[in-house]
Structure 1
Amino acid sequence: MADTPDPLILAGRPAHEVLERQTARLARRLVRAFAEEIPIYRRLPQEELDGDITRITEHNLRMISHMLRDRCPPTRTELAPLRASAARRAQEGVPLEALLAAYHLGARKIWEHLFASATAADFDDALTVNRLFLLYVESVTAAVCSAYVEEREGMLSQEQHAMHAIASALLSGDRTALAAVRLAPRYLILAIAVGPHADERSAEPGGAIAGRRKIHRIRGALQREAADQVLSVLDAAGGLVLVPLPGDGLEWAAVGEMAEAMGRAAGAPVWAAAEFAVPTGVPAAAKLAEEVLEVVRLFQRPPGVYRLTDVPLEYQLTRPSEATAALAGLLDPLLDNPDLLRTLKTYLDSGLDRRRTAERLHVHPNTVDYRLRRAVSLTGLDPMDPAQLQRIGAALAARRQLAHRGSSGRGT
C-alpha cells in the first residue's frame, strides 16, 4: 500500500482537515451563496435547497478534501453523485449554465476560505493546491456536462417520439390515437423539399451530420414563428410539417415569411407547398400539398412557397388522363430534330422573346426564327396563335409528366 503523502499546509493547518472539520457549516454557507448570486437557485423550493442541494454540496466538500489529502483526481465513484444530481437538474429544467455557475462559485469560495490566512511560507503547497483545484473544476465540469446533456437528449428523444407519433396520427387520420391529444383548431400543412447544403456534398460522415444539422435549423426556424409545438416528419431532403394555428388562422404573407426563414436557416434552397386544414382534413390537405410540391419541382419553379392556385394548369395537366399521351403526341414530329423541340420550349419559357431565347440557346436570333418556322411547319402549331400556344404549353407539360413517370422514352 502506498504511503500517504505529506499533508498540504496552508496557514499552519492541513488543508484537507480544514474542509473535513467544517463540511456541514461550509455547505450551508455555499448554498446560501448559490441562492443569493444565481437567480434560478433563488427560485428553488427551500426544501430542495436544504435537502438535495446541500447534500451534493457536502459531497463536493468531502471530495475536494480527499483530493487535497491524497493529491489525486476524483474517482468515477466520487463523481457518480454529481452526475446523478446533474441529471435531476436537467429533469427540473435548471439551465446547464446555472448548474455550472454553482460549481464554479462553490470552488471559488472554498478556495478563498482555504487561502484566507495563507502566507508566503505556504508557496510550494499553495501551487499544489491550485493545481488540484483546477483538476477538480475540470473533472466536475466534464462529469456534470455529460450527465446533463445525456439526460436532456433522452428527454428530447422521448418528446420527439411523442411529437412524431402525433404527426403520424394526424397525417393518417387515426382518430383513436388522437383521442387524448389536445389539437389545434387548424393546421398549416407544408410539404417541403430542401436542396443540399454545401457541407452535405462530402462523402465523409460529416456530410450526413451536416444534413441532420440543416433539418434541426429548419425545425428551429419554424418553431420560432409558431405559437405552439410544430410537428414534423422530415429528413435531409424534406418532408411534411404541421404548424398549429389559432382559430383565426394565418395570413398568406406570414406563410411566405416562414418559407424565407426556412431557407435562411437551411443555407440551401427550399421549396414549399402549403395548405390549411382542420385536424380531420389534414390527411387530404397533406396529400394535395405533396402533389403541388411535385408539380412545382417538375416544372422547375424557383424556391419559395406555393399553393394550388399558383399552379392550377400545371397541376391539372399532370393528373393521369387519357388525354396526356395524346397531348404529348402533338410534338412527336419534332423528335427527329431535338434542336427544334428545345428551341420551342425555350421560346415559351422566355415569354415568346426571340432575343432572350437566342441568348439562352447561344445562337443568333435568325436561327431561332428559322427553327420556329420549321417547328410550325412540322406540327401545325403556331406559338403566335393564342389558342395554339395553349396547346403547345399543354403538350410540353404532358411530355414532361410522362418522362417524370418513366412511362415514355421520348425526350423533352
Structure 2
Amino acid sequence: MSSPSQLPPIPADAPLRKVIEDRIDEIATTLLHEAVQSIEWPTPMPIEHFDGEVAPYIIGGFLYGLGLITEGRRVTRAEVATFVLPVAERHAEDGIPLPFLFTALHAGIRKLWEIVLESASEGDSETIAALGMYLADFTGTISVLMTEVYQDSDFALRATARRQLGALCAGLIDGAPDIDVLAKQVGIKLSDRYDVLAIRVDTDEPRTTHEILAARRRLRLANQVFYGRGAGEILNTFDGHAGVILLPAPVVEHCDDSAVTGHLGALVAALSDRLDIAVYAAYHPGAALAAIPAAVSEADEITRLARQLNRGPGIYQLADVLFEYQSTRPGPARDLLACRIAPLRDHPGLLQALQAHLQHGADRKAAAAELFIHPNTLTYRLRRIQDITGYDPTDPHQSRLLAAAMTVHTVDHADTPIAVTEPGNPG
C-alpha cells in the first residue's frame, strides 16, 4: 500500500508514457487552446495571446511531472508553485477572474485525459489508473495555489500601492490642491521638479477583450521596467496604451539637454523592448510642480502629433515638431488652413502629388519617382492644385502655407489614409 506521500510509480518504459513524452509540445499547445476556448470571454479572444507566457510553464510542468511519476511520489506545493505562481500572478495582475482560471484548468485536465484514453492500448489499464491519481493530486494542489494568489494580502497590498502611486501621479497632472496630503499618505516625498515623459504605444485604443488584456499585460511589463529603475521614485499613469511618467529631476539645473534626452530615451527604449511594441514619447524637462499640468498637455500633444504625422517611433520634444505643433493649434488660423486644403479632399491624386512635392521640394524627379509618374505629369498636377486652391505649390511663400494646411489635413484625417490612385490619373 502506498504511503501518504507516495503514488503508484509508472515505469519509464511504459508504452503510454512514451506516447505522451513524444508529444509534449503538441499536447501542451492543445491543452492551452482547449483551456482558452472553454472560457466565455466578453469578446473573441485569440489563443495566441497566452502562448508565449503560459505554454512554456505547461511544458515545464510536464517534464518535471514525468520524473516524479517514475519515482512514484506526490508533487509538493513548492514544486507546483514553480510552474503555477508565475502564471497565476500574471493573470491576477491582468484582471482575469479566478473562476476563469478554474474553468480553464479543468478544461485542460479533461482534454489531457481524453488524449490519454485515445492513446491507450489494452495493456495500459494500470498506467491509466496511476495517471488518474497523479492528475487528481496535481489539480487539487494547483487549485489551492491559484486561490491563495488571489487572496494573498501582500499581493493585494502591492496592487493597492501601485494604485496609490498612480493616483498621486494623476493628482500632480491635474494640479490637485491637496497633493502634499496625498503624497504623505502614500509615503512619498515630492521632488521640487520632475522630468515629464508622455508615452503612447503604437496600437489602437483597447476595445475588445483581447486588446484590453494585451494592454494590461503591457502595464504589468512596464511596471517591471519601472521597478528596475526605482519604483518608489517613478510615478506614472501608464495604462498599457498611453500615460505619463514623472521622474524626479536633479536639484541642479540641467546644463546638457542631450543628457536628459539620453536618460529618458534609454527608458523609452527599455519599455519598447520589454513590451515588444513601438513606443512614441515626448518630454518636457525639469517642470516645477505647478507647471506639470501644462508640461503634460504639451508632451501628450507632441506624442499624438508624431504618430499622426507618421513619424517614426522614439522620443520627441517640442523643437522636433515645432512647425507642425504651431500649425495645428486650435483657432481661426487653423480653421482657415483647413479650408485652404479642403477642395483637394475629392482629389486623392492631387493630395499625393502635393505631399510628394512638399517632401522633396525642388527635386521634381524624386517626387515624380515616388509617385511612379513622369515629371511632366507631376507638373500638370501641381498646376491643377493651383487652379483648385488658388495657391501655387512652386511658389516658396505659398508652398509654406500649403505645407501648413497639409499638416492640418494629415492630423485631422490621421485614420483615413490618402487613397492610392492609378499612375497617370490625377485624381
Residue number among 168, 171, 177 corresponding to 1:169 in the alignment: 171
Aligned mates of 2:343, 2:239 — CA distance in 1: 43
Q: Does 1:265 align with 2:274?
A: yes
Equivalent in the alignment of 2:155: 153
What is the TM-score normalised by the length of structure 2? 0.55
How far did residue 380 of structure 1 move?
Answer: 4.5
Q: Is the 8 A contact 1:194 1:268 kept in 2?
A: yes
Q: What is the DSSP-based 3-state SS (H/G/I as helix, E as strand, rest coil) of the residue aligned with 2:373?
A: coil
Residue number among 247, 255, 259 corresponding to 2:251 in the alignment: 247
Equivalent in the alignment of 1:309: 319
Aligned mates of 1:395, 1:304 — CA distance in 2: 25
Q: 1:380–1:266: structure 2 CA closer, same or farther, 3 Å change rule?
A: same
Q: Does 1:185 align with 2:195?
A: no
Give the greater-gyration-radius structure (CA). Answer: 1
1:10-409 mapped onto 2 (5 Å cutoff): 147=148, 150-179=152-181, 180=184, 181-196=188-203, 207-226=211-230, 228-248=232-252, 251-276=260-285, 277-335=287-345, 337-403=347-413
How far did residue 269 of structure 1 move?
Answer: 1.2
Counterpart residue type for residue 294 of structure 2:
A
For structure 1, list consecutive stretches of 5 or more residues without a partner in the other structure.
Answer: 9-71, 77-131, 407-411
How far did residue 257 of structure 1 move?
Answer: 1.8
Aligned mates of 2:398, 2:408 — CA distance in 1: 15
Q: Is the 8 A contact 2:284 2:317 kept in 1?
A: yes
Counterpart residue type for residue 373 of structure 2:
V
Aligned mates of 1:326, 1:7 — CA distance in 2: 86
How far did residue 207 of structure 1 move?
Answer: 4.8
Q: What is the DSSP-based 3-state SS (H/G/I as helix, E as strand, rest coil) of the residue aligned with 1:330?
A: helix
Q: 1:244–1:145: structure 2 CA closer, same or farther, 3 Å change rule?
A: farther
Identity among equivalent pairs (%) = 29
Q: What is the DSSP-based 3-state SS (H/G/I as helix, E as strand, rest coil) of the residue aligned with 1:397?
A: helix
CA deviation profile, 1:218-248 (whole Å, cap 9, x unmatched): 2322443458432221223212222223323
Q: 1:173–1:386: structure 2 CA closer, same or farther, 3 Å change rule?
A: same
Q: Is the 8 A contact 2:385 2:393 kept in 1?
A: no
Counterpart residue type for residue 271 of structure 2:
M
Q: What is the DSSP-based 3-state SS (H/G/I as helix, E as strand, rest coil) of the residue aligned with 2:237?
A: strand
Aligned mates of 2:148, 2:312 — CA distance in 1: 45
Q: Is the 8 A contact 1:166 1:178 kept in 2?
A: no
Aligned mates of 2:381, 2:144 — CA distance in 1: 74
Counterpart residue type for residue 339 of structure 1:
G
Superposition misfits of 4+ residues, deviation over 6 angstroms = 5-8, 135-142, 200-203
Aligned mates of 2:323, 2:402 — CA distance in 1: 13
CA deviation profile, 1:176-223 (whole Å, cap 9, x unmatched): 2423341123212222111249xx9996x5554332222222232244
CA deviation profile, 1:316-369 (whole Å, cap 9, x unmatched): 111112122322333455455332222112221345543443343333333223
Equivalent in the alignment of 2:55: none
Aligned mates of 2:221, 2:140 — CA distance in 1: 32
Aligned mates of 1:189, 1:267 — CA distance in 2: 23
Aligned mates of 2:385, 2:371 — CA distance in 1: 16
Q: What is the DSSP-based 3-state SS (H/G/I as helix, E as strand, rest coil) of the residue aligned with 2:334?
A: helix
CA deviation profile, 1:9-66 (whole Å, cap 9, x unmatched): xxxxxxxxxxxxxxxxxxxxxxxxxxxxxxxxxxxxxxxxxxxxxxxxxxxxxxxxxx
Q: What is the DSSP-based 3-state SS (H/G/I as helix, E as strand, rest coil) of the residue aligned with 2:178?
A: helix
For structure 2, list consecutive stretches of 5 or more residues without a partner in the other structure.
Answer: 5-72, 78-132, 417-426
Q: Is the 8 A contact 1:170 1:178 kept in 2?
A: no
Counterpart residue type for residue 330 of structure 2:
P
Aligned mates of 1:138, 1:376 — CA distance in 2: 74
Q: Is the 8 A contact 2:309 2:411 kept in 1?
A: no
Aligned mates of 1:6, 1:357 — CA distance in 2: 82
Q: 1:140–1:332: structure 2 CA closer, same or farther, 3 Å change rule?
A: closer
Q: What is the DSSP-based 3-state SS (H/G/I as helix, E as strand, rest coil) of the residue aligned with 1:311?
A: helix
Aligned mates of 1:375, 1:137 — CA distance in 2: 73
